[in-house]
Amino acid sequence: MGSIISLGINKMEIDWGKNNYFNDHSKLFQMKDFGKQVPYYYIDDNDNEIIEYKEGASKQLVEVKQRLEILGYTLQNIEKMYNENLIELGYYTEENLNISFGDFFKLITSLDIAKVDNIASIIEDYDNGFDLGEYFNRCILEDKEFKDKISLILKNMKKSTYIIGEFFENLDPYIILRILAENKNNLHYNVQWNYSDVIENGWVKKDEIIKPLEDKYRILIVTEGKTDSFIIKKSMEYLYSNIADFFQFIDMQDNYPFTGIGNLSNFCMGLSKINIQNNVIILFDNDTSGIELYNKVQNISRPNNLYICHLPTYEEFNEINTIGPSGETKCNINGKAVAIECFLDFSSVDNHPTIRWNNYNKVMQQYQGELENKDKYVRKFKDANLKDGSYDCRKLRFLIDYLIESWINR
């Protein structure tokens, strides 16, 4: 019979493999998610269900959803993938499956995971496990509510049942998983990868399953200074721990081999020329000199895996106290004086946040601004607990959300 390895939610099996032939789902999980005791469902000789708890990987769907997004499974992308699968289906069958992505989306999000039980439907003919197509025909289509819904879409149910199964069998399981995550009632369920049997029976070694995220999925964030890298990295680790392993950091202050202004822009152009294969985000400041350099590299030819951006515009920065040639006044500092320190908690120090205008930039025809006492804000951040509510993380969350969404939608 062999050993089964499966990915699923509760008793809903989304993908499975046998022996040493299976899809590697380690990228959905972090090292802390492996080695958990998860339920394994078996059927004995009398077709009775047996539940055993063994080692596996487990992570809540709400957290897996974010990992899928970074891996490219956005709603926009999965719609494209779905339509490509429909086209491919027409290459090896004369039947057309007239289910639009919108209808398919409604069907999958309407599934009640608590009621799905493919284990109870396993019979002798399927002792090697279900594929998704077989599962769909044997289990989902037998659900009256679901069958009524799909009957409204398909004119000839009997004729199309087999082809629906074929379609599901060849569909990327992450498309199903990503759509299930759009139903808020599903988000608390755990996505489980049951790998114990293939390891115990010698088909694969443990380190082939339990392993950190591969470098090809990681994203390198390149910043102007080491403070930028430190602040973003700590914010990721504490506020977005479920995806923090996707990101690596390097700064031009300590890691650029040359000196002089324009380090980050020159580095960016160098990466473009060598057509770098790694995933890279180049992050400029949102101040006068940062925007000048950002504009300088906007028109260079670059691969899709190299994304260039600057710190985001933030509403709170529209009216900040400033000191300069015109005296003291309130100004919009977006595009003129927004550095990473501006995203720290201004209430963490006694000083009122103030920007001082200094050098005049002839190219941009405006002054460059800098946050006064910025070192005090950084020191407070270093000692801050970002999880207990004692530190205001609203701007940091806005910043990280901006970076993630920008990368996903690039």
Q: Could you report the per-residue pLDDT of 192-240, keeping only the tens digit for each?
A: 999 999 999 999 999 999 999 999 999 999 998 889 999 999 999 999 9
Contact, 288 vs 361, CB < 8 A?
Answer: yes
pLDDT tier at 144 (50, 70, 90 boundaries)?
A: low
Separation of CA 310 from chain center: 20
Structure tokens at 231: 């602040």
Q: pTM of this prediction?
A: 0.86
CA separation for the pair 269, 275 (Å, rounded)? 10
Sort residue 149 into left (φ over 0), alpha (ψ -120 to 50) or beta: alpha
Report the distance separating Cα 69 and Cα 55, nearest Å.
27
- Bigger pLDDT: 20 vs 78: 78
Lowest mean pLDDT among 34-43, 49-58, 96-105: 96-105
Average model confidence (pLDDT) across the chain: 85
- Tell me the C-alpha distance between 212 and 27, whole Å: 8
Distance of alpha carbon 402 from alpha carbon 395, whole angstroms = 10
Contact 162, 49 (CB under 8 A): no
pLDDT value at position 129? 47
Q: What is the pLDDT of residue 215?
A: 93
Residue 377 and residue 347 in contact, taking contact as beta carbons nearer than 8 Å = no
Rounded CA separation 239/233 (Å): 10
